[in-house]
Amino acid sequence: MKKFLDKVYRFSKVYGLTAAGAVAVIGVLVYDKARREPVYSSWTTNYDPSVKWDYNWDRREPKSLVKPLKESATDDEKQKYLEKEEKKVGTATRHIIMIRHGQYFDKEKYDADRMLTELGREQANLTGLRLAELNYPYTKLICSTMTRAQETADIIHKHLPDLPRENDDMLREGAPIPPEPPSGNWRPEASQFYGDGARIEAAFRKYFHRAEPEQTKDSYEIMVCHANVIRYFVCRALQFTPEAWLRISLNHASLTWVYIRPNGRVGIRTMGEAGFMPPDKLSVM
């Protein structure tokens, strides 16, 4: 008991908590020896997380890439298994910086006519300046084939002229999955979800995964595409329910930054960031 009280005192001293607050926080960290299970703080509503993180979400968990051992495996076979598994372990982090296109003429019927407005071009230019100022070692620029995304990428590329660029038709805008709750004013045909959903999901699997073991340095990829695609990608990458994508709103030409660690953990540095733009340059629709 004395050791526990000493720990409470040190914790409260360092973090400026009351004794009760320190006990509550430490309660998350210590174990009840009698029950041999964690002691949870008063704000905890349940003992187990509602959803546990799937470390093999990208099917690149090292153990899943090596043929499993037989129960009768010898020590030599076990050693070889460990060596094979070790070779599948990556060390680099992948950073994917997704950019929504700038404001465009959204009332036009055909994609070729849905070009950037003057404001949209200004937004893309500001985003290009921002990326150049950040000065990360970008590896490539990937772009949707739709007109508004192509124009946005053209403007950004002027600020990063040496960056390799490639287009991908899979990143076109679309309806990824029926949203929950349903939208009252956006009701695409049910058949659209089948085609667009499969394509956008395939794009997610293509681009979102941990780095290959051969990659030794962190990579920074820029992806210029669309709001629906980005919102769906974020939900999938963070293992949120994908039907929640429509609850998210993104400014035009904003930055959404996802990182993927070698151990399969995924996080987000920023979502729809547009603070580098003056207020009069911001737009959503």
What is the rounded distance in angstroms from the CA atom of residue 96 to the CA atom of residue 257? 6
Longest Cα–Cα distance of the chain, Å, equals 75
pLDDT for the residue 42: 63
In a shared domain, residues 167 and 100: yes
What is the rounded distance in angstroms from the CA atom of residue 161 to the CA atom of residue 243? 37
| Side-chain half-sphere exposure of 196, counting CA atoms within 13 A | 17
Per residue, the 3-state secondary structure of 206-254, as one string, reads HHCCCCCCCCCCCEEEEEEECHHHHHHHHHHHCCCCHHHHHHCCCCCCC
How far from chain centre, in Å, is Cα 60?
17
User: Across the strands, what pairs with 223?
Assistant: 98, 142
Domain of residue 80: give its range.
60-89
Walk along the chain (285 residues) and give the pLDDT tens digit of each residue: 555 555 545 545 444 555 555 444 444 444 445 555 666 666 666 666 677 899 999 999 998 888 888 888 888 888 888 888 888 899 999 999 999 999 999 999 999 999 999 999 999 999 999 999 999 999 999 999 999 999 999 999 999 999 999 999 999 999 999 999 988 777 777 778 889 999 999 999 999 999 999 999 999 999 999 999 999 999 999 999 999 999 999 999 999 999 999 999 999 999 999 999 999 999 998
pLDDT for the residue 24: 47
Q: pLDDT by residue (tens digit) across 13-32?
A: 444 555 555 444 444 444 44
In a shared domain, residues 166 and 143: yes
In a shared domain, residues 118 and 228: yes
What is the rounded distance in angstroms from the CA atom of residue 136 to the CA atom of residue 138? 6
pLDDT for the residue 36: 59
Q: Based on the structure, what is the number of domains in the chain?
A: 3
CATH number at residue 159: 3.40.50.1240
| Peptide bond just before 182 cis, omega within 30 deg | no
In a shared domain, residues 126 and 263: yes
